[in-house]
Amino acid sequence: MPKAILISGLGADKRLYKHILIPDGFEVVYADWLLPNEDDTLGSYAQSLISQYHISTGDVVIGVSFGGIISTEIAKCVDLRCAILISSIKTDAEAPLYFKIFRKLPVYKIIPVKVFNRMSFLVEYVFGAMSAQDKMLFKNMLTGCSPIFLKWAMGAVLAWRNHIAPQNLYHIVGDHDLVFPYKNIKAPTAVIKGGTHMMVFDRADEINKIIHQILK
């Protein structure tokens, strides 16, 4: 049975997918974040996930936000049935302007590691409005994530350079996403009207329909 590997966003875990339903015929695997080596790139980190979860030909990888970027790197290495990106980017050409700013002014480097888990107060401002229950859940996920991983991931994603959109890659975006603005996305597969960066929570029914269409 082929696997459907679900990769969460930065600071999140499998609870991010609590409303996402995968069709029958797939072994659903929720990938946990591995602690990276200091010199890991997103490409080498993707290789670690491939090995850890035995991702192989014919499998499906689904990634939200940062997990979508990792899914793109996996799709460059493995002949997947497909990769599905949600609220993410597939090339660095789609990256927002603030990526360029933080590349030149990498202020994240001077932030103490222990502070990264305390930035949950920014959740609604950055990710968009969400229900009180979902906001509490996301803050809880962020607080529980490894601060070492968070700081590494910020540096790795800013250093990421990719000009290849792998075959069989599907891209679902929201037109109210503040993290990865819709205007930067080239040829998305589907656009969720009013969808924010966290539409995987509150627009899951629409996303599920698209996923089912792709996988059927």
Give one DSSP letter per residue of 55-76, joined into a string: --TT-EEEEETHHHHHHHHHHH
pTM across the whole model: 0.89
Q: Work out the mean pLDDT of the chain and round it to a whole number.
A: 87
Region 116-126 average pLDDT: 49
31-47: pLDDT as tens digits: 999 999 989 999 999 99
Categorize the per-residue pLDDT at 107 as very low, low, confident or very high, splitting at 50, 70 and 90. Answer: low
pLDDT at residue 12 in the model: 82
- In CATH terms, the fold of domain 3-215 is Rossmann fold (3.40.50)
| Structural contact between residues 84 and 6, judged by C-beta atoms closer than 8 angstroms | no
pLDDT at residue 10 in the model: 83
pLDDT at residue 76 in the model: 97
pLDDT at residue 33 in the model: 93
For residue 162, the Cα-to-chain-centroid distance in whole angstroms is: 15
> In angstroms, rounded to a whole number, what is the distance separating the alpha carbons of residues 121 and 125?
8
Categorize the per-residue pLDDT at 118 as very low, low, confident or very high, splitting at 50, 70 and 90. Answer: low
Alpha carbon separation from 131 to 136, 176, 203 (Å, rounded) = 9, 16, 12
Answer whether residue 208 shows pLDDT above 50: yes
Percent of the chain with pLDDT over 70: 82
pLDDT at residue 75 in the model: 98
Extended beta strands in 56-162, E state: 60-64, 82-86
Among 56-60, 96-100, 117-121, 145-149, the minimum mean pLDDT is found in: 117-121
pLDDT at residue 201 in the model: 87
Region 137-146 average pLDDT: 68
pLDDT at residue 105 in the model: 73
Who's near 169: CB < 8 A, 6+ residues apart?
Answer: 72, 75, 82, 83, 84, 85, 90
Answer whether residue 121 shows pLDDT above 50: no
Who's near 88: CB < 8 A, 6+ residues apart?
Answer: 63, 64, 65, 66, 67, 68, 69, 71, 72, 171, 180
Who's near 29: CB < 8 A, 6+ residues apart?
Answer: 3, 4, 5, 6, 53
pLDDT at residue 125 in the model: 46
* Eight-state DSSP code of residue 201: H
> In angstroms, rounded to a whole number, what is the distance separating the alpha carbons of residues 55 and 59?
7
Q: Higher confidence at residue 31 or residue 9? A: 31
55-105: pLDDT as tens digits: 999 999 999 999 999 999 999 999 999 999 999 999 999 998 888 887 877
pLDDT at residue 101 in the model: 83
